Amino acid sequence: MGVKAALPKYEIYFYNVVLCLAMCWATSWIFEVSSSNANRKTFKTSVKPGWHYFGRKMDRADFEWMMWFSTFRDHILFALSGHVLFAKICSMLAPQYRSLVYMVYGLLAVWTSMGWTYVTLILSHCILLYSISLVKIRWLCFVTGLCTLSMFKCEPFLSWQAGFVEGDFELRHVLFYGGCGFTIMRCMSFALENCERKDGNYNILELLKYNFYLPFFYFGPIMTFDKFYVQVNKSDLTRKEWEMWNIRVEGLIQLGVIIVVDILFHFMYILTIPTDIKLMKHLSDWALVGLAYFNLVYDWVKAAVMFGVINTVARLDHLDPPKPPKCITMLYVFAETHFDRGINDWLCKYVYDHLGGKHNDVVEELVATLCTFGVTILWLGPCQVVLVWAFFNCFGLNFELWTAKLSSREPFASFEIALTEAMSRRIRAVFNTFNFWCIVLYNVLALNSLDFAKLVAKRLLLKGFPITTIIVMFVTYCLIQVIKERERRQAMIDDPDPPASPPNEEGKLSIDAVEK
């Protein structure tokens, strides 16, 4: 049945009320656990004094968040502010050279922060992949890129290359891995696009402009070369109506979210609690389930803010960067599960869509997903948790296709046709409910630990059965229906139904309307 299938308004209101009550109930449990265990010995390393206005300690377990918005906030803001300043001056005086200015500023910023030996290492990888791209053999470029990427994941190549970085500042390792990893992905994109170009080759200067664009260099997101090349070389730099206003609003929203998250860290220790398995075994079912859900929501918020700040700078440079990740709350199918749209676009363009075609054939889809998650494992770094996460997500993605194929056959197809659209939507939501929790558990495994994921699954499906299981699944069903209602309204806006044709003199529809 179509996405535009509607439910009665009172039913949607009921789902919203249930969802709000459940969220408040789970939040109260986590707040109670955080308050009563603030001075726990196992919390001392991560729960430390925060803003004195609240008189409470703050959860500082996430190194990445603290690095971005506390420890190195001023350094990052200084570098990005300098980029924006020089980019603005260039766009006013010599817009035709703006891509060159971006490259020079980025190169100097990397040189200043990491040293000339690191810049030499990055340039060597760029030259290697550029040279391979001149052969214009797609598989050779891909194999070379993956081998180069593996050099940053395996010893002794990893330690040897890390020795090129100068200085002992705390951010050194983060910048090293981020800059090298994203560089290889960008170089592979350039090489693969160069293979597709029929008339000649791209200049190596275009690769350097692409790679050393500072806002994307260390932390992403990845914009494929074909999109970057077109956007950074366009001559028309006029903005759409309200575009600057939207950029300012977006910047203020990012700032507001950062402040809100910092405040919430004083009241809910959602990152520290999962590290204490002994404590979690004594938590209520609601606290544990809510903790798993809030961990994923926070990870989405962190990714949305980090990419949002960078994307705001990119939009000031007249670029259209990848959108922020889709909220975990809105996900109930594996096909849309990704926290980084840049990496997702890269994988879809060069691996998944290239091998999977229209994604209708079961065998082609299996091969495409296996290769896609194989590259993802290499990108994240092979380890037990990543391998288990990749296996379950790969299985979930293929299982969705198998289920769709099966449901399109008899007797299931006739059964669904006999149902009303509303009832079909309800039945599908029931299956989506189990899918939603599969996605939650698989990603909790990747974000936290195997022990935490096993504990949540055991409490939800075994120890809490049937009461906790039924209640949580019902609340999740309400969430799925709320999501589907939002998607239905958006579909009505994007593709409204055509107005009915007026009856003719005989009281019948016109021939044209019937044919349509």
Q: According to the model, what pLDDT value does residue 505 have?
A: 42
| Collapsed DSSP state (helix, strand, coil) of residue 62 | coil
Asked if 221 and 264 sit in the same domain, the reply is no
| Same domain for 344 and 321 | yes
What is the pLDDT, as a whole number, of residue 482?
Answer: 93
Domain shared by 315 and 365, yes or no: yes
Q: Do 261 and 403 lie in a common domain?
A: yes
33, 142: one domain? no
- Give the DSSP per-residue string, 183-203: HHHHHHHHHHHHHH--SS---
Give me the pLDDT at residue 166, please. Answer: 62
Taking the CB of residue 63, how many other CB atoms lie within 10 A of it? 12
Say if 295 falls within a structural domain. yes
The count of domains in the chain is: 2
Whether residue 240 is contained in a domain is answered as: no
| The predicted structure's pLDDT at residue 145 | 93
pLDDT in tens, 225-249: 999 999 998 877 888 888 899 999 9
Residue 328 lies in a domain: yes
Torsion on CA atoms 413, 417, 419, 425, rounded to nearest 10: 70
Q: What is the pLDDT of residue 238?
A: 82
CA–CA separation, 420 vs 325, rounded Å?
A: 34
Q: What is the pLDDT of residues 432-451, one digit of tens each?
A: 999 899 988 888 888 888 88
Residue 157 placed within a domain: yes
Q: Say if residue 325 is preceded by a cis peptide, omega within 30 of 0.
A: no
Residue 315 in any domain: the answer is yes
Q: Of the candidates 87, 122, 85, which has an alpha carbon nearest to the alpha carbon of residue 102?
A: 87
Residue 384 lies in a domain: yes
Gap between the Cα atoms of 428 and 317, Å rounded:
44
Q: In terms of domains, do 283 and 168 share one?
A: no
Which helix (H) or strand (E) element contains residue 226? helix 225-232
Same domain, 56 and 77: no
Q: Are residues 270 and 347 in the same domain?
A: yes
Is residue 26 situated within a structural domain?
yes
Residue 403: per-residue pLDDT: 86
What is the Cα–Cα distance from 510 to 507, expressed in whole angstroms?
9
pLDDT at residue 156, rounded to an integer? 74
- Domain membership of residue 85 as a residue range: 71-233
Contacts 24+ apart (CB under 8 A), 371-380: 372/347, 375/146, 375/347, 375/351, 376/343, 376/347, 378/146, 378/149, 378/150, 378/153, 379/149, 379/181, 379/185, 379/343
138 shares a domain with 38: no
Report whether 468 contacts 460 (CB < 8 A). yes
Asked if residue 239 is part of any domain, the answer here is no
Structure tokens at 155: 């010893």
- Max Cα-Cα span within the chain: 87
pLDDT score for 513: 34
Question: Which of 207, 233, 259 is where one domain is finished?
Answer: 233
Residues 6 or more apart in contact with residue 437 via CB below 8 angstroms: 460, 472, 473, 476
In this predicted structure, what is the pLDDT of residue 167? 59
pLDDT tens series, the chain, 516 aa: 457 788 999 999 999 999 999 999 999 999 999 999 888 888 988 998 888 888 889 999 988 888 887 767 777 888 889 999 998 898 888 888 899 999 999 999 999 888 888 899 999 999 999 999 999 999 999 999 999 998 887 777 777 777 767 656 666 777 888 889 999 999 999 999 999 998 889 999 999 999 999 999 988 889 999 999 999 988 778 888 888 999 999 989 999 999 999 999 999 999 999 988 889 988 888 889 999 999 989 988 988 888 888 999 999 998 999 888 777 778 888 877 776 788 889 999 999 988 988 888 888 989 999 999 999 999 888 888 889 889 998 998 899 888 888 888 878 778 878 888 889 899 989 999 998 999 888 888 888 888 888 899 999 888 888 999 999 999 999 999 999 999 898 888 877 765 544 444 443 333 233 333
Give the per-residue pLDDT at 506: 40
Structure tokens at 346: 């890269």
Token pair belonging to 396: 């979930």
Determine contact, residues 28/268, Cβ cutoff 8 Å.
Answer: no
User: Looking at the structure, do residues 54 and 134 belong to the same domain, yes or no?
Assistant: no
* Residue 481 and residue 369 share a domain: yes
Q: What is the pLDDT of residue 72?
A: 72
261 and 345: one domain? yes
